[in-house]
Amino acid sequence: MTSKNEEKLKFSAEISKVLQLMIHSLYTNKDIFIRELVSNASDACDKLRYESLTRTELKQEGGEYKIGITINKEKRIITIADNGIGMGRDELINNLGTIAKSGTQEFLSMLTGDSKKDMPLIGQFGVGFYSSFMVADKVTVQSTKAGQKDTWQWESKADGEFTITQLEPATRGTAITMYLKEGEDQYLDKFRLRHIVQTYSDHISFPIEITDDEGNTEKVNTGSALWMRQKSEITPEQYKEFYHHVAHAVDEPWLTIHNKAEGTLEYTNLLFVPSMKPFDLYHPDRKPRVKLYVKRVFITEENVELVPRYLRFVRGIIDSEDLPLNISRETLQNNPLLAKIKDMVVKRVLLELKRKAEADNESYNTFWKNFGPVLKEGLCEATSPRQAILEVCRFHSTHHDGDALTSMDDYISRMKEGQDTIFYLTGDRLETLRLSPQLEGFTKRGIEVLLLCDHVDDFWVNVLTDYKGKKIKSVTRADIDLEQMGDIKDEEKPEEKTPEQEASMQSLCARIREILGDSVKDVRVTSKLTGSAVCLAVEEGAMDFRLERFLIEQKQINTASAKILEINPDHIIIRSLAGKLLDQGSARDIEDATWLLFDQARILEGEQVADPAAFTRRLQGFVEKSLAA
């Protein structure tokens, strides 16, 4: 059949590596190539069904949609054919010669060429069409794009190159022929193929037919949209296979959300939360990927955001009964019906997450590790149901050691007498947070503090200030009065101060204010510290340290605002400084010690020391003096 116009082209480096992996496949389950090719065939039929809603001529020849698997024992080939949208010459080259999906290039460049190391990587990624090379040493793809006259053939032996040839015109669709490797004759067995299709592809909504050597044809799948069936008639296996198909994923669904909404809006959703974190979760181009169907007809997954970005890990389909079939993709995003569906779906997903968290805490924690930071992005948006999101959020906390997590509600149930605020501390690393002096007074009084160390935490805490009637506040705020909160052992209670002592602390504050000048906003006595002498704090309503630092890095603001220096009246250094206030000879020491304490507080908050040379000189002076003493 091939004519002389054969063109030779090279695979991209990434594809060559993928193909090498397929040829020397370590997959224990090669059957999945059938699932992958049938899945592509079904997508191709879906695409044409949508296109032909507005361009009926596209479908005129080529009959009703179906997928056919034909066996030829004599030639040892099987062919998987569909009468879907088809591919033109350039699409064959682009789709089956390069990988264009966002983030894939970077991902695949991590492949080393060592199949043992690469297999787990590729396992996360899914191999689609290329899986055919697990069982075949040569693969031919013949394709005719619907509405076009040309037919093109792509052929490769996975040896670094493929050929493109023009063929005699045929009717629309794609046929993929696999020349089986030695030892793969099992795929020539009709019963085996039927079993594989029923295991992996029963949910496909187009008929799948197997034709044997004698020309007998048999339809082997149920052939109706899976999501329209009763839940009780769908097995977990079938859900899983549908998830693999719709999400191009290879893991197990962690959560399956299948329900039908009836009433003012009528739609069915079949949504999945993956059990594995996809490699492109944080890629800027990653879009929420839920497919829109209208009355069983696939419409699109690209021009429409059916779930918000903070649920971009959710995969699956939504099938609406109310939208018109001929709806244009361009106007979809502004459709008010869709906006309502989106709101309802968000509520549903959050409700199911809550149920799952209540039913299986351990499994929920795994979910949280994968997707928690993404979900928390929703806390930053004014339009999202922030309280409902917060309800399913989990946090590290001083109540638990190690990696254990807590919910806001659990936190509230452990709040102390007189405590009306949920306290937190943000930082980069959990280990460092646990050692922060800012926690001292809280720990001593048995007051729990949430430890927030995801990047997104720095943002939502600035816009979300209460939950279930409790304030949410950073322990770095200057107005926290711990005296009235929690329970503290008698022997740990600070001594009652005499009026003279109180007055001398106030004088010390004034003196420090004078020394530090514009470098601080204020100097105050605090009950927050025990082991440390000083810490920095910010006023209620002012920007928190970390957000401010981030905005400076991003050049959104120029300089940091002055902070409040809090001093611990029970600390030996502070007490000695207060004692020396009236001693003229100690003026220089008080000044140096003040700057040292201030710089130390800045270092602890991760801030730069303003004048490193002066800092070193002062520190050296004190060290010398203490060694000489």
Burial class (CB in 10 A: 0-12, 13-18, 19+), 577: buried
Residue among 67, 38, 56 at smallest CA distance from 146: 56
Helix (H) or strand (E) holding 516: helix 499-516
Find the shortest distance in angstroms from Cβ 144 to ligand ADP.
Answer: 10
Q: How far apart are CA 570 and CA 384, in angstroms?
A: 46
> Does residue 187 contact residue 32 with C-beta atoms inside 8 Å?
no
Residue range at the interface with ligand ADP (CB under 6 A); choices 39-47, 342-350, 460-468, 469-477: 39-47
Alpha helices for 180-259 (secondary structure H) = 190-200, 236-247
Find the shortest distance in angstroms from Cβ 130 to ligand ADP.
Answer: 6
Find the shortest distance in angstroms from Cβ 82 to ligand ADP.
Answer: 5
- Closest to ligand ADP by CB, 52 vs 174, is 174
- Closest to ligand ADP by CB, 279 vs 550, is 279
Find the shortest distance in angstroms from Cβ 250 to ligand ADP.
Answer: 11
> What is the footprint of ligand ADP within residues 341-400 (CB under 6 A)?
none
Question: What secondary structure does DSSP assign to 23-53, as a single string?
Answer: HT---S-TTHHHHHHHHHHHHHHHHHHHHHH
Q: How far apart are CA 344 and CA 262, in angstroms?
A: 12
Residue range at the interface with ligand ADP (CB under 6 A); choices 4-12, 85-93, 228-236, 350-358: 85-93
Q: Maximum distance among all alpha carbons in the chain?
A: 111
Of residues 40, 142, 397, 419, which one binds ligand ADP by CB under 6 A?
40
Residue range at the interface with ligand ADP (CB under 6 A); choices 83-91, 265-273, 323-331, 498-506: 83-91
Residue among 96, 89, 72, 238 at smallest CA distance from 158: 96
Find the shortest distance in angstroms from Cβ 87 to ligand ADP.
Answer: 5
Q: How far apart are CA 371 and CA 206, in angstroms?
A: 34
Find the shortest distance in angstroms from Cβ 48 to ligand ADP.
Answer: 9
At residue 534, the 3 state secondary structure works out as strand
> Does residue 376 contact residue 363 with C-beta atoms inside 8 Å?
no
> What is the footprint of ligand ADP within residues 475-514 (CB under 6 A)?
none
Classify strands 267-274 and 520-525 as parallel, antiparallel or unpaired. unpaired
| Cβ-based neighbours of 441, under 8 Å, separated by 6 or more | 482, 526, 527, 528, 529, 530
Of residues 18, 32, 34, 41, which one binds ligand ADP by CB under 6 A?
41
- Closest to ligand ADP by CB, 36 vs 202, is 36
> What is the footprint of ligand ADP within residues 215-254 (CB under 6 A)?
248
Q: Tokens standing for 383?
A: 């339009």
Classify strands 449-452 and 421-426 as parallel, antiparallel or unpaired. parallel
Q: At what angle do helices 336-359 and 361-376 cross, to 10 degrees?
A: 140
Residue range at the interface with ligand ADP (CB under 6 A); choices 40-48, 430-438, 476-484, 588-596: 40-48
Find the shortest distance in angstroms from Cβ 243 to ligand ADP.
Answer: 14
Indicate whether 44 belongs to the interface with ligand ADP (CB under 6 A).
Answer: yes
Of residues 151, 174, 221, 438, which one binds ligand ADP by CB under 6 A?
174
Over the window 94 to 113, marking each residue x when it contacts ligand ADP by CB under 6 A and - when it does not, the resulting string is -xx-----------------
- Closest to ligand ADP by CB, 251 vs 457, is 251
- Closest to ligand ADP by CB, 85 vs 327, is 85
Over the window 115 to 134, marking each residue x when it contacts ligand ADP by CB under 6 A and - when it does not, the resulting string is -------------xx-----
Residue among 149, 168, 127 at smallest CA distance from 39: 127
Find the shortest distance in angstroms from Cβ 329 to ligand ADP.
Answer: 17
Find the shortest distance in angstroms from Cβ 248 to ligand ADP.
Answer: 4
Find the shortest distance in angstroms from Cβ 96 to ligand ADP.
Answer: 6
The sheet carrying 315-320 orders its strands as: 253-261, 267-274, 315-320, 289-294, 297-300
Residue range at the interface with ligand ADP (CB under 6 A); choices 34-42, 289-297, 524-532, 592-600: 34-42
Find the shortest distance in angstroms from Cβ 214 to ligand ADP.
Answer: 26
Find the shortest distance in angstroms from Cβ 173 to ligand ADP.
Answer: 7
Of residues 82, 212, 377, 548, which one binds ligand ADP by CB under 6 A?
82
Of residues 18, 19, 22, 85, which one binds ligand ADP by CB under 6 A?
85
Question: What secondary structure does DSSP assign to 296-353, as a single string?
Answer: TEEEESSS--SS-GGGTT-EEEEEESSS-TT--GGGGGG-HHHHHHHHHHHHHHHHHH
Number of residues located near ligand ADP, criterion CB under 6 A: 15
Indicate whether 87 belongs to the interface with ligand ADP (CB under 6 A).
Answer: yes
Residue range at the interface with ligand ADP (CB under 6 A); choices 58-66, 84-92, 474-482, 589-597: 84-92
Q: Tokens standing for 537?
A: 């704090």
- Closest to ligand ADP by CB, 301 vs 381, is 301
Find the shortest distance in angstroms from Cβ 213 to ligand ADP.
Answer: 24
- Closest to ligand ADP by CB, 206 vs 254, is 206
- Closest to ligand ADP by CB, 176 vs 509, is 176
Find the shortest distance in angstroms from Cβ 269 to ligand ADP.
Answer: 22
- Closest to ligand ADP by CB, 40 vs 398, is 40
> Does residue 474 contact residue 509 with C-beta atoms inside 8 Å?
no
Burial class (CB in 10 A: 0-12, 13-18, 19+), 207: middle
Q: What is the b/e burial string over 374-410, where b = at least 16 CB atoms within 10 angstroms of the residue's CB?
A: bbbbbbbeeebebebbbbbbbbbbbbeeeeebbbbee
Q: How far apart are CA 292 and CA 440, in angstroms?
A: 53
Q: At what angle do helices 236-247 and 190-200 cross, to 10 degrees?
A: 80
Instruction: List residues near ligand ADP by CB under 6 A.
Output: 36, 40-41, 44, 82, 84-87, 95-96, 128-129, 174, 248
